[in-house]
Amino acid sequence: MPRTEAQPPIDSERRAGKVEPYRTALRRSLKNRMSTSKAELYDQLATQLSGLLAGERDLVANAANFSSLIFHSLPDLNWAGFYFEKDGELVLGPFQGKPACVRIRVGQGVCGAGAAKCETVIVPNVHEFPGHIACDSASNSEIVVPLVKDARLIGVLDLDSPLPARFDHQDARGLENLVRILLSSVSS
């Protein structure tokens, strides 16, 4: 029977030297991630996002790649995605994570509050936020960044984390910069 990745390497693999290079690379990768500051991480993401979106002008396509990049690059997220404004509601767009609420009224929940104020909203404990909409019961903190282009609300970027107080002002600045890159990449 073939082994799965979850099983430890067998002695013959250890002797053949197949496992140690992998472990060394993994240790190096983890060390690099831990030594990268938040500002450096967001700078790297800005470079990656600019390259990823280059040449594509469609908002949905770019939002899909954006949400995937963020979900797989930022630690401790359980949801990352977009809601787009349509007729006074936020309608679910591209995302990564568990299934989500499809429509949210502007002004309702954390996403609706961010949309109504057109401001970034950081919530350290979603269970203490009045009117919080719990799409995933594992979420404990949240950040919402509005998408505003030509003085018009287009939607919001929403990130959730299972960790309390996961997001701070460095995240807000970094995500706001990434949103500017997204909005500059799409047609008006």
- Structure confidence by residue, pLDDT tens digits, 75-127: 999 999 999 999 999 999 999 999 999 999 999 999 999 999 999 999 999 99
**What homologous superfamily does CATH list for 32-185?**
GAF domain (3.30.450.40)
The whole-number pLDDT of residue 35 equals 59
> In whole angstroms, what is the distance from residue 133 CA to residue 127 CA?
9
**Which percentage of the chain shows pLDDT scores above 70?**
81
Q: Three-state DSSP class for 125?
A: coil
CA of 22: how far to CAs of 13, 30, 70, 92, 139, in Å? 12, 12, 25, 39, 33
The pLDDT of residue 161 is above 90: yes
Domain boundaries, the chain: 32-185
Residue 3: band (very low, low, confident or very high) from pLDDT cuts 50, 70, 90: very low
